[in-house]
Amino acid sequence: MLNKLNEFQLDQLKEIMNIGASHASNALSQMVKQKVGLTIPYAYVDTAHNIKQYINNPQEKTKATLIKVSGDIDGLIYLYSLIKTNNA
């Protein structure tokens, strides 16, 4: 059964995501020697079956990563983001 997070727990999850994304974008920026943009992520706790409701436009180019988490908490993390082009 899916456990719902309270507002504080969801805020903490977002903060962890921000820290990780910030470190990753900084490393990528240094590797490619270009500015890398970063936006504040959204965080949802839901079943994998419901993932389609969070995708705004199926015609947009996207990238996704599925991460398995195990230990004190078992589950999956689905990272989904838009691929922005110069034409967008």
pLDDT at residue 3 greater than cutoff 70:
no
Q: Does residue 80 contact residue 64 with C-beta atoms inside 8 Å?
A: yes
Do 39 and 50 fall within a single domain? Answer: no
Instruction: Looking at the structure, tell me whether residues 50 and 37 fall in a common domain.
Output: no
- What is the full DSSP assignment across 59-77? TS-EEEEEEEE-SSS-EEE
pLDDT at 33: 94
Residue 86 confidence class, pLDDT cut points 50, 70, 90: low
Instruction: Judge if pTM exceeds 0.85.
Output: no
Q: Are residues 37 and 57 in the same domain?
A: no
Total number of domains in the chain = 2
- Cβ within 8 Å of residue 64, ≥6 positions away: 78, 79, 80, 81
In this predicted model, which residue has the larger pLDDT, 30 or 11?
30
- Residues 79 and 67 sit within 8 Å (Cβ to Cβ): yes
- Let me know whether 74 and 58 are in one domain: yes
If asked whether residues 8 and 38 sit together in one domain, one would say yes
Summarize pLDDT for 18-70 with one digit per residue, the tens: 888 888 889 989 999 998 887 766 777 777 777 777 776 777 888 888 888 88
**Residue 50's domain spans which residues?**
46-88
Asked if 1 and 36 sit in the same domain, the reply is: yes
